[in-house]
Amino acid sequence: MKKLIAAALVGTMVLTMAGCGSKTAETTGSEASSDAAGGTLVMATNAEFPPYEYYEGENVVGIDADIAAAVADKLGMELKIEDMAFDSILPAVTSGKADIGLAGMTVTEDLLENVDFSDTYAHATQVVIVKEDSDIASPDDLEDKKIGVQLGTTGDIYAGDIKDATVERYNKGFEAVVIDGEPAKVFVKENEGLKMLDEAFTEEDYAIAVAKGNDELLDKINTALGELKDSGELDKIVDKYITAE
Ligand code: GLN
């Protein structure tokens, strides 16, 4: 996705996000238990979202992958990560193909109509990426502009509310990209000629999605998350992937 953003901002490359098949990646999460007495915990994610989930060789790593491994460990379950398009994650969870959706997913009122969410585990932002010489200086300058987003994300929803803006889903040239703050930092760092605007576009929170009514799993996950927060393990996982500037 990072290459895609850089290319799309200069308006050259054609790329489709939709239609990417789902593939299964084994977790490297060191905490993953080999004792699968409690069965398998299937996590649906989109592994193009560093530092939360991305590929390192064949493996999906990142904050979410480590959290899932730690939660699965506490539940005595074996973790299996399924990589798919971001907008396939919700259907995977509601249909029962996956037990959890863990993908830097923002808790929104709309999503709560279709899935339940765990307690939140991270605070996040949507930010704006532009070319270094862009005349877009703040989110207020996005009116009338061509904005790139990833299909089905909160960036997609919020960009749709901007007056007279044209929203493109990572397959055309555009003048700005609305995307979550941490992946934005990674993309800007790895691609020349891009910058992130200082002012965030929105503030939001991430949580783990489970099928509506699956209270047993939800309670177990919240207990596990609570323990990870209290023991400082969650902070350790975050610090492993996000270095303070
Ligand atoms: N936080 C955003 C959302 O939930 C984007 C997540 C992602 O692209 N993985 O919509």
Atom index in ligand 1 nearest the CA of residue 204 equals 1
Mean pLDDT of the chain: 89
Q: What's residue 22's pLDDT?
A: 59
> What is the whole-number distance in angstroms between the Cα of residue 150 and the centre of ligand 1?
8
Burial annotation 1-21 (CB, 10 A radius, 16+ → b, else e): bbebbbbbbeeeeeeebeeee
Indicate if ligand 1 lies below 6 Å from the C-beta of 180.
yes
**Per-residue pLDDT tens digits for 100-138:** 999 999 999 999 999 999 999 999 999 999 999 999 999
Write the residue with the smallest CA distance to atom 8 of ligand 1. Answer: 153
- Pair 14, 63: CB distance under 8 Å: no
User: Residues of the chain whose pLDDT is less than 50?
Assistant: 11-20, 28-36
Indicate if ligand 1 lies below 6 Å from the C-beta of 103.
yes
Indicate if ligand 1 lies below 6 Å from the C-beta of 46.
yes
- % residues pLDDT > 90 (the chain): 81
Question: Of 15, 24, 69, nearest to 47 (Cα)?
Answer: 24
> What is the whole-number distance in angstroms between the Cα of residue 34 and the centre of ligand 1?
30
Q: What's residue 170's pLDDT?
A: 87
* CA–CA–CA angle 245, 120, 185 (5° rounding): 30
Q: What's residue 241's pLDDT?
A: 97
CA 82 to chain centre: 14
What strands lie across the sheet with 53-56, from one edge to the other?
48-49, 53-56, 59-61
> What is the whole-number distance in angstroms between the Cα of residue 46 and the centre of ligand 1?
9
In 3-state terms, what secondary structure has residue 223? helix
Alpha helices (H) in the chain, listed in sequence order? 2-10, 63-75, 86-95, 109-112, 154-159, 181-190, 215-230, 233-241
**Per-residue pLDDT tens digits for 208-241:** 999 999 999 999 999 999 999 999 999 999 999 9
> What is the whole-number distance in angstroms between the Cα of residue 152 and the centre of ligand 1?
8
- Say whether pTM exceeds 0.85: yes
Distances (CA, A) of 180 to 33, 109, 150, 176, 229: 31, 18, 10, 13, 22
